[in-house]
Structure 1
Amino acid sequence: MGRGRGHGSRTAAEGGDAGAPPVRDGRPAAGRRRARRWCRTGLAALIASAVALPVAGAARPGVPAPAPATPAPPTAATLDATYAAHRANAEEAARRAAEHGDRRRAAADRALAGPSRQLLAFDGRGPGLATEVLGDLARADRVAVLVPGSDTGLDTYGRFRAAAVALHERLTREAPAGTRTAVVAWLGYATPGTISTAVATTDRAEQAAPRLRALVRDVRGVTGRRSRVSLLCHSYGSVVCARAAAGLDADAIVLLGSPGTGADTAADLRTRARIWAARGAGDWVGHVPHVSADLFGTTVGFGTDPVSPAFGARVFAAGDGGHSDYFAPGSTSLANLARIVLGETGAVTRD
């Protein structure tokens, strides 16, 4: 399948032989039907095996942590107090994790409690949640919100933050004189495991969508209407962004390494935001079947490939990187992401 570009979108009227059986990507209709049956069978097997087999981490005791701090919604005037409240909560979470004997979690919490960290939210319970700001949000003209995919929690937060740092550094270098930027790393939902049934359904995304809308409202409450807000949504995070899109006060939604959104087209997302999509040439998501099936009372799979012409997003170049390389310093994808965030869309390079 390669990069999956345009998969399932070619018809006879678009260059096929009108006198032969319909062909897509060189396969006759019967072959496509067999492929769809195999895809559905594989998805059903994923569900069945996950139900039948024990979850390896299920018996792991939870790490004790305090309930999250609950300051009032942030404003430009109260932002420092909000950051301080969540840092204090992270410090207490670190203390409890250390007493529990979980040194890895204690170290992650302690890092987030550092005096330079700017936390809009923190919850040390379970896998953990955190929302961190890089830059001066109160005065930002351009704001990027990063939405992560599967297997992201406090224990793995460092790699997610590294992506936010790389983007913030690029924006700082390239922003025009007088333009201020900020990046918000939003680990605001319980991400699914890569090997799990949840990663193949929209259930977690449905639960996360109201939280993402609330985060964007909070950002607007701090920056006001003058700022340009872009959501950069990686992997399963693109499903979250799609579910949140309707009514979301954003200027751009970028789908990176997306398995699909659950929507047939970009227009179906019902948002004023401009929809962008990209996939690196080395990203394994290009081999994920773009099908959707109702199985066991839930919808499995995410439908139309976001980088296909059928979806209708603005597709941009992401270079040769793999699934985890979209924010790699010096990469084609990072350069284009910075241009989108800055609003320099005419400079975005296309495939």
Structure 2
Amino acid sequence: MFPPRHRRHWRRACLAALLTTAIAAPLSAATTHPGIPAPRPSALPPLTATTLQKTYEANRADASAAAAMAAAHGDTDRAAADRTLASRNLLAFDGRGTGRATEVLGDLPRADHVAVLVPGSDTSLDTYARFHKAAAALYTDLTHRASHGTRVAVVAWLGYATPATVSTTVTTTTRADEAAPHLRTFVHDLRAATGPHARLSLLCHSYGSVVCGRAAPGLDADDIALVGSPGTGAGSAAALHTRARVWAARGGDDWIAHVPHTSAHLFGTTIGFGTDPVSRAFGARVFDAGDVQHSGYFTPGSASLANLARITLGETSEVTRA
């Protein structure tokens, strides 16, 4: 067993190696598309149940316009992604750069239970299809599990510039710190579009759990579930300073288990995200995710999806614990 001083050096060495890999390795397959033209987002009224349809219509129009502009620019893949989003219910849309979109599945104003999905790295308009697939799988599971007369909705929130999986930004809280105020504001505004007694759960995947951790203080949510999390930037669930119940899970085949769960100051910034959310020291309610891989938490029929649905529905006694 290494003495404490040597353990600290070992942790720093691991984190330095992680940073070096991020700098030296090529960027992941996610593309930034900085030059794709798209309209500026429409000016929208404050979000309420009565303005919801106008919001949907304005964002559909923006997505259609973005699709036409992307096609004229020669990017058929982005045009197709924008065109698909133009047929959906969007609370927000911005086709510029990597893009932003917030999609609603279900009848939001009448929902008794609302889940907000916060994605991790490499999520953009170009990869949005897989994010939508996760949201749709959860919505389907929720509708099957909900008791008669119980209404549900799922919100897929791509409201920030996610880092690339292989990059320097994915090893720090910088993007999460930038995203957190936007998520906190969005959750506050979302309450105005839902019923007064709607239960709201945040389901945060991978780097999205860092975003949720930074946004947690004062966040108006009932539950926060962290899946495939590298850490939150906080040392414990109590340090998140939230009234929400904090849950955590990691699949048996998730590579994130091998990421060092510590932090260190290197090269003028903080690398790493601190305590492992599924550890006893963190103090979250740890639930079973089966043997899913890092991208498999919303796989239909999986233990992780079933438990995320139970958390959303407030069926906490039914959640299978790890």
TM range (shorter): over 0.9
Q: Could you say which residue in structure 1 is the equivalent of 2:181?
A: 210
The CA deviation at 1:345 is 0.3
Among 3, 6, 15, the alignment partner of 1:43 is: 15
Match of 1:340, SS state, is helix
Give runs of aligned pairs for residues 320-335 of structure 1, distance below 5 A: 320-335=291-306
Bigger Rg over Cα: 1
Q: Could you say which residue in structure 1 is the equivalent of 2:212?
A: 241
Letter in 2 for 1:320: D
Give runs of aligned pairs for residues 1-351 of structure 1, distance below 5 A: 28-30=1-3, 34=6, 36-48=8-20, 61-114=34-87, 117-351=88-322
Q: 5+ unaligned residues in a row in structure 1: which ranges?
A: 1-27
Answer yes or no: is the 8 Å Cα contact 2:112–2:151 preserved in 1.
Answer: yes
Give the Cα–Cα distance (whole angstroms) in 2 for the partners of residues 184 and 255 of structure 1. Answer: 16
Deviations, residues 42-93 of structure 1 (Å, cap 9, x unaligned)? 4224445656788688996521111111211211111111000001000010
Q: Could you say which residue in structure 2 is the equivalent of 1:20?
A: none
Answer yes or no: is the 8 Å Cα contact 1:36–1:291 preserved in 2.
Answer: no
Match of 1:258, SS state, is coil
The CA deviation at 1:194 is 0.4
Letter in 2 for 1:268: A
Give the Cα–Cα distance (whole angstroms) in 2 for the partners of residues 61 and 124 of structure 1. Answer: 10
Letter in 1 for 2:223: A
Match of 1:29, SS state, is coil
Residues 45 and 284 of structure 1, relative CA distance in 2, 3 Å threshold: closer
Letter in 2 for 1:208: A
Instruction: Report the RMSD for the aligned CA atoms in angstroms.
Output: 1.8
Q: Could you say which residue in structure 2 is the equivalent of 1:21?
A: none
Deviations, residues 104-147 of structure 1 (Å, cap 9, x unaligned)? 10000000011xx1000000000000000000001011000000
How many residues align? The count is 321
Letter in 2 for 1:280: G
Give the Cα–Cα distance (whole angstroms) in 1 for the partners of residues 97 and 14 of structure 2. Answer: 30
Letter in 2 for 1:88: A
Letter in 2 for 1:86: N
Match of 2:143, SS state, is helix
**TM-score normalised by the chain length of structure 1:** 0.88
- The worse-fitting range, judged by mean Cα deviation, of 32-41 and 184-193 is 32-41
The CA deviation at 1:276 is 0.2
Deviations, residues 188-225 of structure 1 (Å, cap 9, x unaligned)? 00000000011000010000001101111121001143
**TM-score normalised by the chain length of structure 2:** 0.95
Answer yes or no: is the 8 Å Cα contact 1:65–1:97 preserved in 2.
Answer: yes
Give the Cα–Cα distance (whole angstroms) in 1 for the partners of residues 226 and 193 of structure 2. Answer: 25
Letter in 1 for 2:179: A
The CA deviation at 1:176 is 1.0
- The worse-fitting range, judged by mean Cα deviation, of 173-182 and 218-227 is 218-227
Give the Cα–Cα distance (whole angstroms) in 2 for the partners of residues 54 and 195 of structure 1. Answer: 7
- The worse-fitting range, judged by mean Cα deviation, of 292-301 and 228-237 is 292-301
Deviations, residues 229-288 of structure 1 (Å, cap 9, x unaligned)? 000000000000000000110000000010011111100000000000000101011111
Answer yes or no: is the 8 Å Cα contact 2:34–2:96 preserved in 1.
Answer: no
